[in-house]
Structure 1
């Protein structure tokens, strides 16, 4: 598969990690992000340049010079990115959609890209990217999935084709998200409430007794930190998980509630409730910040 010019849409955490890990394996590597045009976040373009990645001024510029595009944006922008890229795609461009979206959303995006002459592949990224970098496990779907997986693995990635149809990989990812993001939401609600009543020293040992393989102190701190840092992105992903449940014909009672909890923490983070909390903080410090932010 002769892919030589990499383009990334989105220069957030995932975009930065993938561009850093892959730019040396392509003849060119460029990135475009909406925040490049915002004076308040314009330093992001400078950061990309400093990392050896070309920051471009528009989606059109990115598509014009890329034969392999990775879309790594928030879940709510999945379809919008495909629609924005489609008019500018070079014929045969491979469009790898890394975003956490429902099978239906991915299918809509695929139709847009394929109609424009591109070759769409969906990806379900199966765990947090930072610990793994470009080796993060991902599942691929679409007619080109098997061929692309072989190519990506040769680049040092960990890709597995699971279906020639669009939607299967995303269904796997979204069903998993209900559990993982749900655990985050449950821990935050349970721990913060226990902290409010002063009973955490009784609650956590009972969890350890029931699930002894989990370090509930350490896992709690990790869950809090990830939601505080990425709650908005997680809330959007859970809305797509709710859409996935609806597409299956069920009422997304749990997925919707999880989205609400993730959004609530994201809203607190936006107001500065965790501004004083360090990166290596305990869960108790995060919970205390939520307690301090309670309304009378």
Structure 2
């Protein structure tokens, strides 16, 4: 399996992690990256400088990245999953492995695979099973597709936590998306429940009852973590949950909960974009986040 030249599409948090984490692996001769920010006058200099420090070549285009790579890793937002496959497929070299890390529905992944495979490359889907930080490139991943087992073995030899779950495309994504309904749903529930309790001044009654029912969870600490992650990544989570809703729909059910979770995640993302949480540091409590929402409510 030829993995000498790695190309990362999407140079955000995940893309940066994989570009820097894979550059020194045995047999890797080059790591490149492509992101629209590389040609954005406002961000070009900073992003290209970051890539240079990380030992990654900031490619000039999608075409340049694909033609220079034997392993292409797609690490973009959920809403861009299919578009990236559409743009990359015509430029992929025959035999290239295309590893799709994006949080998308089984149907979306299958459409991506059809494009990549038609170009003579080999599509492998990945279900990234938790937040990349603090695991880095060792984040648990489930792989699916005809080349999943071989790629999982190769990546595991590099120290990655990869497991092939099926040769059938869509299985890894179904696992990931079903889990996301629960995890992102918990985030949305906590934010709505805690902010409401804070508004009524009853949090000192509510949280102890949660602690009694689920004693293994530190509900105050977990609440702070959930708030912080949604504030930081709510847009990405909202897009993921729209794909989760597609997954539910593809299974033949109405995505009542998944759609509502996407809406709540998007609402928090919009609040963050509006500056509601500006100035809060990493040590902020869930009450700090809730108080910002309550203060904004009084202004609306």
Interval of TM-score (by shorter of Structure 1 and Structure 2): over 0.9
For normalisation by structure 2, the TM-score amounts to 0.97
Using the alignment, how far apart are the partners of 1:271 and 1:24 within structure 2? Answer: 40
Measured after TM superposition, the shift of residue 194 of structure 1 is 0.6
Look up the match of 1:232.
235
Q: Which residue of 1 aligns with 2:3?
A: 3
Listed as ranges, the gaps of 5+ residues in structure 2 are none
Displacement of 1:35: 1.4
Per the alignment, residue 184 of structure 1 pairs with 187
Quote the Cα distance in structure 2 between the aligned partners of 1:88 and 1:292. 50
Count of residues in Structure 1 that have an aligned counterpart in Structure 2? 296
- Equivalence for 2:31: 29
2:60 to 46, 57, 61: 57
Looking at structure 2, the residues matched to 16 and 2 of structure 1 have their Cα atoms a distance apart, in angstroms, of 22
Matches within 5 A, 1:33-112: 33-42=35-44, 43-112=46-115
Residue aligning to 1:241: 244
SS in 1 for 2:216: coil
Once residues 172 and 102 of structure 1 are traced to their aligned partners in structure 2, the CA distance between those partners, rounded to angstroms, is 10
Residue number in structure 1 paired with 2:159: 156
Deviation readout 1:183-207 (Å, 9 max, x if unpaired): 0000000001111111111110000
String of CA shifts for 1:41-90, please: whole Å, max 9, x gaps. 22112111111111111100100100000000000000100010011111
Structure 1 CA distance for aligned equivalents of residues 285 and 181 of structure 2: 25
Give the Å deviation of 1:40.
2.1
Aligned-residue offset at 1:38: 1.1
What is the match of residue 217 of structure 2?
214
2:103 match: secondary structure: coil
**Deviation digits for residues 4-50 of structure 1, max 9, x if unmatched?**
00000011111111111101121000000111111222211211111
Consecutive unaligned residues of structure 1, counting only runs of 5 or more, are none
TM-score, structure 1 as length reference: 0.99
Measured after TM superposition, the shift of residue 223 of structure 1 is 0.3
SS at 2:84 equivalent = helix
> Within 1, Cα distance between the matches of 2:149 and 2:139?
17
Equivalent of 2:128 in 125, 129, 144: 125
The one of 281, 284, 288 equivalent to 1:278 is 281
1:2 shift after superposition? 2.2
The farther-off stretch of 55-64 and 43-52 is: 43-52
Match of 1:116 among 109, 116, 119: 119
State whether structure 2 residue 108 is matched by structure 1 residue 140: no
Deviation >2 Å, runs of 4+? none
What SS does the aligned partner of 1:107 have?
helix
2:126 match: secondary structure? strand
The CA RMSD over aligned residues, in Å, is 0.8
Question: Which residue is equivalent to 2:204?
Answer: 201
1:13, 1:69 → 2: CA distance? 17
Q: Tell me how far apart the structure 2 counterparts of residues 226 and 39 of structure 1 sit (CA, whole Å).
A: 29
